[in-house]
Amino acid sequence: MRRIRIFDTTLRDGEQSPGASLNVSEKVVIAKQLDKLGVDIIEAGFPRTSQGDFEAVKLIAQEVRRPVICGLARTRDEDIDAAGQALESAENKRIHVFIATSALHMDKKLKMTPDEVIATAIRGVRRARRYTDDVEFSPEDCSRTDMDFMCRVCEAAIDAGATTVNIPDTVGYAVPQEIRQRISYLREKVPNISRAVISIHCHNDLGLAVANSLAAMEAGCDQIECTINGLGERAGNASLEEVVMAIWLRHENYMAETGINTREIWTTSRLVSDLTGIAVQRNKAIVGDNAFAHEAGIHQHGVISDRKTYEIILADDVGWKGEQLVIGKHSGKHVIEQTLKSRGYALNKDQLLEVTNRVKEAADRQKAITEEDVIAFANDILTTLTRDEQLVRLCELSVMTGNRFTPSATIKLAVGDREVLGTGTGIGPVDAAAHALQSIIHKELGPHLELKEYGLKAVTGGTDALAHAHIRFADDEGNSFRGEAINGDVILASVEAMVQGANRAVNFQKRKTPSEQGQQQTGER
C-alpha cells in the first residue's frame, strides 16, 4: 500500500474563502482538531500577509507538535524570513515557497522572463533551507504552464533543496486526463525527481478538484493538498473528506491509504463550518446533512434487509452524530468539557469557565440544554473580538414594533469613550435597528456599511431556544465583514451580530495600508 500524505490548507487557502476570516483562537482550535484528525501537514497561514497570520502560525507551531506545520511565502526574502520566524518553535516545520510560472502570470503579473523566474525560485528555496530542511516549492498556475518549463523550474528547485514539489491548478482549469499526463511527464523528464515528493493542489472551479487530485495520485503524486468542506478561494479547493473517503473506500483500487482517522471527519467539518460561518450544503458528499439520510428512514425497506443495498459508507465511519445529547441542568464542568472535547473544541481554562457560566445562565431560562447549545456558546466565545478590537459596544437598544405603525429602533453605542445615540425606522424591528446602527457607524467612524446577508436560526427547538444570528456587511469597496451572536432574544442576537460585523469593518479600515493591500492581492490563491 502507498501512503498518501494529506496536506491540509484550510487555515491558509480555506481562510481565503470570501468572508471566512478566522481569528487566532479559532485557528488554534481548528489546528488542534486537524491534529486529532490525523493530517500529515497543516498549512497554518501566510505569515507575511498580516500580523494576525503571523501570530496564528507562531501559536500553532508552539501548540501543535505532531504534524508538520507549514507557512506559505513568496520568493521574497521578507516573506521567507517571516515564515521562518513564525515557525521557529515548531517541532516539525516546512516553508512553502511559490512563484508563478505560466506565460500569462510571468508576463502580466511578475513582469519577469522565464530565466529570471528560475533564478528567483532557486534563491527563494535556498533561503528557505536556512530555516528548515523541509521545503516545498510550487510553480503557481502550473496547469497553464508550458510542460518543459515546468520541468526546468522543478529540477532547479529540487537542486536548490526543495523536498516537495507541488503542482497547483491555481485557477481550476485542468481536467483529469491532463493532470495525469502532466504528472507523468514530470516524473519522466525531471532527472532528480526521485529526491522530492510530488504533490497536487487543485481548485474546484469546474467541480473537478477531487477528481483531478485522484488522477494525480494515480499518476504518482504522494501528497494531496485539500481543505475541510472544500473551502478555498472562489469555488474552493479539493475537499479533504471526499479525497480521504474515496481512498478509504476504494483502497484496493488505488492500493493506497492515508493516515486520517475517518471517525473525526464529521466533527472537524462541523467545527470548521461553525467557526468560519460558511454552512455545508445539505447534499454535500460525505458531510452534508443529507449524506446519511438513511438514518432518517429514506430507503428504509432496502436498508433493513441489508444495509449495503444503499449505503457505501456508514455514518459511524465518518463519526456522524445524529442524536443530540441532552446536557442536564446540573451538569458540571466535567460533562461540558467532555462534550466540547468530543466535538473538537480544545479550549483553554478561561474559555472553558466562560462556557460553563453561560450554560448555567441559560439553564435558568431554558428547559433543557443540548449539546448544540454548548457548542453555540463555545463558538460565540471563540468569535468574540478582543477588547482592543471592540471599538464599538452596544449600550442600549429599544425597538417598537406592531401592525399599526412604522417599526422604529433607538440604539446607544459606546464609540471609544463617548456614547452616541441613533434612531432608525424600517420594515421590521431588525431592519430599523440596522438603519440606526449603520447611521451611527457612518457618521462617527466613516465606513458606509450595507447589510448583505442576514440569517437567524434557533440553535435547538422551542420558543425559549437560543437564537443564532449571522450577518454580513459590505463596505463601498466590496470588502465583507461577518458578525455572529447568540442570545435568547432574537432582536438582541441580531443587533449584537451587527455590532460585531461593524467592529470588524472599523478594525479593517484602521489596519489598512496601501502596501498591505498590494500584498494580499499577489498571494497564491
Residues at the contact surface with Zn ion, assessed by CB under 5 A: 13
CB of 174 to Zn ion, least distance (A): 13
C-alpha triplet 497, 503, 507: angle, nearest 5°: 150
Q: How far is CA 417 from CA 164, 234, 391, in A?
A: 53, 40, 9
C-alpha 140/C-alpha 502 separation (Å) is 35
In the bound state with Zn ion, the residue whose beta carbon lies nearer, of 17 and 267, is 17
**The pairing of beta strand 2-3 with beta strand 256-257:** parallel
Phi, psi at residue 257, to the nearest 5°? -150, 165
Q: At its nearest, how many Å lie between Zn ion and the CB of residue 17? A: 11
Which SS3 state, helix, strand or coil, does residue 287 take? coil
Choose among 169, 251, 245: nearest CA to 207.
169
Contact 464, 440 (CB under 8 A): no
**Minimum CB distance to Zn ion smaller for 144 or for 321:** 144
Residue pair 183/216 in contact by the 8 Å Cβ criterion = yes
Nearest approach in angstroms of CB 499 to Zn ion is: 33
- Burial profile 60-72: b = 16 or more Cβ within 10 angstroms, e = fewer: bbeebeebbbbbb
Taking the C-alpha atoms of residue 367 and residue 357, their distance in angstroms, rounded to an integer, is 16
Q: Which is nearer to Zn ion, 201 or 343 (CB)?
A: 201
User: 18 vs 446, which CB is nearer to Zn ion?
Assistant: 18
Supply φ then ψ for residue 457, to 5 degrees: -145, 150
Please identify, using beta-carbon distances, which residue of 138 and 356 lies nearer to Zn ion: 138
In the complex, least distance from residue 438 CB atom to Zn ion, rounded to whole angstroms: 35
Any idea which residue has 502560525 for its cell?
57
Rounded distance between C-alpha atoms, residue 15 and residue 119, angstroms:
31
Cα angle at 450 between 445 and 454, to 5 degrees? Answer: 120
Q: Least distance (Å) from Zn ion to the CB of residue 211?
A: 17
Taking the least distance from each CB to Zn ion, the nearer of 272 and 394 is 272
Amino acid making up residue 144:
R
CB of residue 237 to Zn ion, shortest distance in Å: 6
As a whole number of angstroms, the distance between CA 286 and CA 402 comes to 45
Nearest approach in angstroms of CB 18 to Zn ion is 14
Question: Distance between CA atoms of 12 and 14, rounded to whole angstroms?
Answer: 5
Closer CB to Zn ion, 227 or 494, in the complex: 227
Q: Which residue is nearest to Zn ion (CB)?
A: 13
Question: Which lies closer to Zn ion via its Cβ, residue 13 or residue 317?
Answer: 13
Query: Is 13 or 134 the residue whose CB approaches Zn ion more closely?
Result: 13
Q: Would you say 13 or 141 has its CB closer to Zn ion?
A: 13
Partners of 69 in the beta sheet?
A: 42, 93
Query: Measured from the CB of residue 522, what is the shortest distance to Zn ion in angstroms?
Result: 13
Alpha-carbon span 115 to 153, nearest angstrom: 9
Residues with Cβ within 8 Å of residue 475, at least 6 apart in sequence: 447, 448, 449, 450, 481, 505, 509
How near is the Cβ of 16 to Zn ion at its closest, in Å?
8
Q: Nearest approach, Cβ of 203 to Zn ion (angstroms)?
A: 6
481 to each of 15, 25, 468, how far by Cα in Å?
A: 13, 18, 17
Nearer to Zn ion, 163 or 166 (CB): 166
Find the shortest distance in angstroms from Cβ 471 to Zn ion.
Answer: 28
